[in-house]
Amino acid sequence: MVRRQLIEVIYPDGTLGQVSNDVLDVLIATGKILKFCRGDGWVDIVRDHARLRDYRSCENFRGQDRRAPWPTKVADSDS
């Protein structure tokens, strides 16, 4: 059995959670978290200009790209 390391995140309402790497990418892309914790400390998404892992531009990859496109940020309907 493979154990996946979970990453701590802070949601906009201040609650703390843990997510996988793949979910972290989606949460960053959709603006659903404020911060996440790396080994060297917390990363503030806005202040630190956190970037997604995007391997699609990797020059070493020669195969067909079968990944879904990155999700787009959805505007809050409460505004």
Per-residue pLDDT of the chain (79 residues; tens, 9 = 90+): 566 789 999 999 999 999 998 888 888 888 899 999 988 899 888 776 655 555 445 555 555 555 566 666 666 655 4
The number of beta carbons lying within 10 Å of the beta carbon of residue 66 is 5
Contacts of 73 (CB under 8 A, 6+ apart): 29, 30, 31
Could you tell me the pTM of the whole model? 0.59
N-terminal to C-terminal alpha carbon distance within the chain: 45
Whole-number pLDDT of residue 57: 53
